[in-house]
Structure 1
């Protein structure tokens, strides 16, 4: 099962996603395997390190954490069949995909190599997300993907910011179409926009 959870900054979406991952494993009658947390955040400074540690404490024991800023598909390939996985978050992954030197040919291309255009880079990013979901399906994983809603304000004036927001929304639209369940979190309240109709859905409505 693929679930997409979105919401604004500090909306409570991570807590909702964590609860949902636990519900998914329970709904599988114990067949949901080990709980995995795929973290795309980089420990870039002291503030980020504190946020990461706070989230670890809030999740509690029972979670296996894999730090994977970019190579999400490769990380999923390491997860045992039938496990439950929380990917947090697509927002950071998208920014790192577009702007980090590991994948941005404008900063990493060898002399004589042709740099990718913006459209090529974004197409490859979408293809990577497609590969991630296909890997989850093949390995029979329950995958919960978390991301931020960044398009609630006026369009940004800066070209790079607009490029990033447009790319992220392209990923969101595609993911919402592929997921069996789509949830938006506002002020800690989970709003179901697309529901699979499983036992998990019924339990979440009662919560």
Structure 2
């Protein structure tokens, strides 16, 4: 006999996360409401709370997924190119463009459970992959310098992605993609101060 008291939706958790990242990408984090997401998914307003407990729990799940997706993309870059630092930055910008809802949440620890163990692990994994990319690009460099290099690479890519997402580069992006503009800019930054070859 079927259990009529159990909710049948397929993957409600996935449906709510997908709906949430769409809302965030279009209208920002403040537009998120568990009740509205339940309505979009066609379920009772209490159903999302079963998986996430509250809005911060949902945003924590989105941040975890975002860091995991980012780490996967950065790891691919390390596996596929002899010049990973430039490719890592390009992948980072591409991630921000392709996953704007995740990107909007990931670096807002004020809106999610920052002490969640799964979140801490996902964030650390993404950081380690970035650090590995800087290490590959700079063999023999001391750890302190590598850490500073990883931070500088992250700041460059993150700053560019944030400015691009907020419309600050719209005029520059009329004839090229954000990743193409980032590559051009990063090449100029990386070659500044390099003496010309003879």
Q: Same fold (TM over 0.5)?
A: no
Q: TM-score, normalised by structure 2?
A: 0.29
Structure having the higher helix fraction is 2
Larger relative contact order (Cα-Cα within 8 Å, sequence gap ≥ 6)? 1
Structure having the higher strand fraction is 1
